Amino acid sequence: MPPTQGAVVPDFEAVCCDGETFRSRALSETLGADGGLLVSTGFVFSAIAENWYKRFEGYGWGSEAVPLLGISRDGPYAQNAFLRRLDAPFRLFADVGGGVSETLGLLTDRHHMANVTTPRRSVFVLDADRTVQYAHVADDWTSPLPREEIGEALEAL
């Protein structure tokens, strides 16, 4: 089951990409002084990921104090290429094997795709102690994000 408001997100470690380099980092050492916005879009270069990350940048989300941290099933080279293409200051965790998504309870079976799981699209606003201040896990693949609620939770950090 995905984390809900008030829950503490497990401190996972995964390869973290910044558009140029990548290295293994723990979530706790990647969050900013005030927390972070943890986002799962499944895969980079998907229409959903491109749409979401362009919107995030337009909203002004992601700063040093509250960084925007994505999770995707892609490897670090693809993630860095995606970040360079966006030219955005975000970082992405490479969850190639799906372990982070599984830990967060985000994996779901894909209909009509035998033995294939994909992380559900989700957004978690975390404080510096990894406590969820706001959680949104999409029920489908196309609905828009609740921008106002996410923005309010980010402002409250």
The 10s digit of each residue's pLDDT in 36-81 is 999 998 788 988 899 999 999 999 999 999 999 999 989 999 999 9
Query: Domains in the chain: how many in total?
Result: 1
Look up the CATH number of the domain holding residue 22: 3.40.30.10
Q: What is the model's pLDDT at position 123?
A: 96
Q: Domain limits at 106?
A: 13-156
Say what the pLDDT of residue 119 is: 80
Q: Is residue 1 part of a domain?
A: no
CA distance 39 to 121: 8
CB 122 within 8 A of CB 136: yes
- Whether residue 4 is contained in a domain is answered as no
Residue 114 has pLDDT above 80, yes or no: no
Residue 6 falls inside a structural domain: no
- Looking at the domain assignment, is residue 103 inside a domain? yes
> pLDDT at residue 117 above 90?
no
Q: pLDDT tens across 124-149, in order?
A: 999 999 999 999 999 887 788 899 99
Is residue 58 one of the residues assigned to a domain? Answer: yes
User: What's the mean pLDDT when you consider all of the chain?
Assistant: 92
Asked whether residue 123 is domain-assigned, the answer is yes
Mapping DSSP to helix (H, G, I), strand (E, B) and coil, where does residue 59 land?
Answer: helix
pLDDT for the residue 48: 86
Q: Which residues are CB-neighbours of 73 under 8 A, at least 6 positions away?
A: 42, 43, 95, 96, 98, 101, 118, 119
Residue among 124, 121, 94 at smallest CA distance from 106: 121
74 in any annotated domain: yes
